[in-house]
A and B are shown apart, each in its own frame.
Chain A
Amino acid sequence: GNSVTQMEGPVTLSEEAFLTINCTYTATGYPSLFWYVQYPGEGLQLLLKATKADDKGSNKGFEATYRKETTSFHLEKGSVQVSDSAVYFCALSHLAGGTSYGKLTFGQGTILTVHP
């Protein structure tokens, strides 16, 4: 079945540091890939997406590139801010011959804390 594996957390960085959160997936065919972010006390918010190989999703300074050859979708940001402190979830959605109605399979989440 489909699965998503994220790097273990928590991740603690100083403001303006470079961020990478690794995400790899297992799936047949061509899933769509997503990063969701969960700020304290809030729900899941879509951060970015990519729907096919070599697509780069980007938003709010975050980027992730869909790498089919390595089955990866690593999240990066060049300079993090305190306000980026949150839990980040990698997820995939797979339309298997049209029989799947887009359910998301999530990674375990990575807690990011950014200090001033």
Chain B
Amino acid sequence: EPEVTQTPSHQVTQMGQEVILRCVPISNHLYFYWYRQILGQKVEFLVSFYNNEISEKSEIFDDQFSVERPDGSNFTLKIRSTKLEDSAMYFCARSTGSNQPQHFGDGTRLSIL
């Protein structure tokens, strides 16, 4: 299975700034997911994305978050105005089907100062 690539590997941002996290696509992957892991806590589902639209989102995924995959390019997660509690590892995952195993990237460590 091809490796899932995320960029950047580490992002340090001032509180209130916008951040964009990126996930490099593979053409035969149709389903995309974002998860986050706050230090010492569980990996939590944020959002799933299929056919260029959000298919499911968690209560964490509020109006500050958005995802897109413009023109088949990188799959991105945007946080419009970051808060201290957004500090976490953010993982992108992809699969070829909703009932197929998900394959994860190495994550982006987001640190909000």
Q: Is the CB of A101 within 8 A of B55?
A: yes
Of B4, B33, B91, the contact of A103 (CB 8 Å cutoff)? B33
Give complex CA distance A12, B95 in Å. 33
| B2 is an interface residue with CB less than 8 A from chain A | no
Q: Are B45 and A104 in contact (CB under 8 A)?
A: yes
In the complex, whether B41 has a CB less than 8 A from a CB of chain A is yes
* B42 lies within 8 A of A102 (CB): no
- Residue A43 contacts which of B98, B99, B104 (CB distance < 8 angstroms)? B104
What is the distance, in angstroms, from B46's C-beta to the closest C-beta of chain A? 9
- Judged by a CB distance under 8 angstroms, whether A28 is at the interface is no
Contact A107 B48 (CB under 8 A): no
Q: Is A77 an interface residue (CB 8 A)?
A: no
What are the residues of chain A within 8 A of B35 when measuring CB–CB? 104
Query: Is B33 touching A32 in the complex (CB atoms < 8 A)?
Result: no
Q: What's the minimum C-beta distance from A31 to chain B, rounded to whole angstroms?
A: 10
Question: Does A45 lie at the interface of the complex (its beta carbon under 8 Å from any beta carbon of B)?
Answer: yes
Minimum CB distance partner of A45 in chain B = B104
- Complex contact A106–B56 (CB within 8 A): no
B65 at the interface (CB under 8 A from A): no
Which of A41, A89, A100, A102 is B43 in contact with, Cβ under 8 Å? A89
Scan residues 65-113 of chain B and give those whose CB is less than 8 A from a CB of chain A. Answer: 91, 93, 95, 97-107
The interface of chain B, by Cβ under 8 A from chain A, is: 4, 6, 31, 33, 35, 41-45, 48, 50, 55-56, 58, 91, 93, 95, 97-107
13 A-B residue pairs with Cβ-Cβ distance under 8 Å, sorted by A, are A34-B101, A44-B104, A45-B104, A46-B102, A49-B101, A51-B99, A102-B95, A103-B45, A103-B56, A104-B33, A104-B43, A106-B42, A106-B44
